[in-house]
Amino acid sequence: MQEFINQFFDVGFMVDHFDEVLEGFWVTIQLSIISGILALIWGLILATLRQLPGKAAMPVRFVTIAYIDVFRGIPLLILILIIAGGVPALEFLPESLRLPQWFGKKDNFWFGVLAITITYGAYMAEVYRSGIESVPGGQMEAARSLGMSHGQAMRSVILPQAVRKVIAPLLNDFIALTKDTTLVSVIALSEVTLVANDIQSETFNSSALMLGALMFLALTLPLARLVDKLIAREQGRFTRGAPRMEAL
């Protein structure tokens, strides 16, 4: 038993390496927030493109759907490796794109951001879509009947209702995204996993990794509770709203 505790929950060991692990976790948080915001925006753009009406927009819809299908189907880990190994080799790109060093962050950080945004943008596009489709068809009809264009109706009528309905599932995706940032450790980004794993390799003690896991819990548990709260609130909302119009 004592051996088990020493291996995984050595408090003294955790205290000794706390600053190191926390520094790694800070990179994890930065990676999560930047990728998370970009994925939220990119997903909304994808979902909007997917809903463009009319024959003329058919190629756009097709490409968008193909994108979403492809990137939901590719493991994020492979995508990270493809981008980190491939982009620097593209000689035609300017160096600032091949080896981005923006805002004092190294290229592997930005490759991670790119891969996560591409993948989670696809996931979040599907979440937005479910929100858009849950808005009764009569809402679009009413807005268009008042003379609004499709774009105006989307912006002022459909999306505000749709986004409100999907805040909780989006937050769920964000929690998953946060955990998936650990995959960027494979391209040598010193985030929490890599830092803690290096400590384990040197000391044969898993407590640093366990500390990293605990830091994740400190972040994800409150978020999970927030999701529950939002879902409960959403269920009490618009309960007297008009039912979906018979779509003939």
Residues that bind other proteins (CB under 8 A): 53-56, 136, 138-139, 141-148, 152, 156-157, 160-161, 164, 238-243, 245, 248
Shortest spacing between CB 161 and other proteins, in angstroms? 6
Cα–Cα distance measured from residue 33 to residue 38, given in angstroms and rounded to the nearest whole number? 8
Shortest spacing between CB 227 and other proteins, in angstroms? 21
- Which residues fall within 8 angstroms of residue 234, CB to CB, at 6 or more apart? 164, 165, 167, 168
- 76 vs 157 by CB, closer to other proteins: 157
- 75 vs 137 by CB, closer to other proteins: 137
- 26 vs 238 by CB, closer to other proteins: 238
- 98 vs 150 by CB, closer to other proteins: 150
Cα–Cα distance measured from residue 180 to residue 11, given in angstroms and rounded to the nearest whole number? 27
Cα–Cα distance measured from residue 26 to residue 109, given in angstroms and rounded to the nearest whole number? 13
- Helix 107-134, helix 159-180: angle, nearest 10: 140
Shortest spacing between CB 56 and other proteins, in angstroms? 8
Q: What is the DSSP letter of 245?
A: P
Compute the C-alpha angle 45/49/51, nearest 5°. Answer: 120
Shortest spacing between CB 240 and other proteins, in angstroms? 5
Q: How many CB atoms lie within 10 A of CB 125?
A: 25
| Of residues 173, 171, 197, the one with CA closest to residue 184 | 197
Shortest spacing between CB 66 and other proteins, in angstroms? 23
- 201 vs 240 by CB, closer to other proteins: 240
